[in-house]
Structure 1
């Protein structure tokens, strides 16, 4: 095994170990803090602590990862222009809105009712919730999309690395697997599909990587809070299962155009290989 293979596996292993363990510890400590989970979940900072651990061990590499440096492409990337990068970023954020719209709309079509939570009933000022959700989302995404994605991209293509991170991201939400299988399956489908959207959408995002990933994540979290009864726990189990399955399918549908774009653009080879 070459030193390069050992190095990237060590980085990934340290990040994942700290991200999982720290999230568990932070989740256990949250009740003692009195911070409502509807405002922010402290577990979200587990990946950020994983990044800090990697930074302590490999300070030179962490700068390269967080800068969004990726392997060279086989062809010149026209998406590298400022206008195209902005369009790509806007498309990424609109994809988050589309996921919620499709998921909530499908639920309303099946059940005949659109579930909407009044922000005034959440127990905290909505502006505070929005700001805290953005901070928490960035606490996650600095790990998943700003460190692990560029790291895996040194060895794999954008599609495989995105799917792998989606599976890890879903598994990191260990509490979800205490729910019904339909709920857990829908959630895992959603994390994989959203990871593909993020992974493909953030190619060459550079310094804007964290804000775009955090913005996407925040919009999804707020949409789930307002239109999926996520956070109150008052929805019947069957309704929650259906809502999550439809959410996962909505994320999958939204990911398809991103994958097709990469398959047909002849810019990013979807076939993976070592870089």
Structure 2
């Protein structure tokens, strides 16, 4: 079999972008047109489906790849590669620490005090800790990571370095979130698109893309899900909405992402096969 060129290996990206943005935009525009809170019927249906746009894109790419019998991209990190899944736990702790540490730092510098009252109310509204954690795991991490990291990331890495890949995905991710600012009741809508909080939220997507990218290369989609879940859940529990705390989170995550990228310098991607051999074409996560 001839070795596909990098362009060939990135060919699934156009399909991924098209399916992801089309399905998400169609669903979220429907939610905007219906009006009402994203937790109320019938708005909840298109709102939730829209969040799974990246997964729909990943499924479309996987189906086409299987139909064409194309090889798995070199930079795909498969679940069966060693014991690297154990790294998901410390990466989850690191993700939580970036938010909690930033909240404490902001409070020490004169920003709003750390308050768990809003977080407790949020957990109670969800029906308790278990339903709350399940909802936080599904809405965002599971709905997005198989697409952004599990599908788009390895294809972008065919011709880009880690920093470039993270920034490109960060830009796409930031644009993808924009409709949420116009859906009543979402966190983004409460922040406001044309506000310091809205701007800081949009900027925060870039270090998040780098952190989840590092997690993916370290231990695959499960690890990127863990990082995404850790940040989102801690932000919700600590009710991080003030510009001062958001700015602290942004700066700490930029520093952590820079340090992690520096630690990877000169190291080959986890998913890259040795001596140009392709990974197993049948096993692994979303590709």
Task: Give the TM-score range, shorter chain.
Answer: 0.7 to 0.9
Task: Identify the residue that residue 232 of structure 2 maps to in structure 1.
Answer: 221
Task: Identify the residue that residue 75 of structure 1 maps to in structure 2.
Answer: none
Tell me the TM-score normalised to structure 2 length: 0.71
Whether contact under 8 Å (1:138, 1:213) holds in the other structure is no
Matches within 5 A, 1:37-186: 41-59=48-66, 64=72, 68-69=76-77, 82=83, 85=84, 88-109=87-108, 110-116=110-116, 117-121=118-122, 122-125=124-127, 126-136=129-139, 137-174=141-178, 175-176=180-181, 179-186=193-200
Give, in whole Å, the separation in 2 of the partners of 1:165 and 1:5.
18
The count of corresponding residues between Structure 1 and Structure 2 is 241
TM-aligned CA distance change 1:214 to 1:61, over 3 Å? farther
SS at match of 2:52: helix
Tell me the TM-score normalised to structure 1 length: 0.73
Task: Identify the residue that residue 198 of structure 1 maps to in structure 2.
Answer: 212
Give, in whole Å, the separation in 2 of the partners of 1:187 and 1:62.
38
Give, in whole Å, the separation in 2 of the partners of 1:161 and 1:124.
35
Whether contact under 8 Å (2:87, 2:223) holds in the other structure is no
Give the drift of 1:210.
2.3
Do residues 23 (structure 1) and 24 (structure 2) align?
yes
Give, in whole Å, the separation in 2 of the partners of 1:118 and 1:106.
19
Whether contact under 8 Å (2:111, 2:244) holds in the other structure is no
TM-aligned CA distance change 1:169 to 1:151, over 3 Å? same
Give, in whole Å, the separation in 1 of the partners of 2:172 and 2:136.
21
SS at match of 1:163: helix
Question: C-alpha root-mean-square deviation of aligned residues, in Å?
Answer: 3.3
More relative contact order, 1 or 2 (CA 8 Å, 6+ apart)? 2
Task: Identify the residue that residue 251 of structure 1 maps to in structure 2.
Answer: 253
Give, in whole Å, the separation in 2 of the partners of 1:267 and 1:5.
20
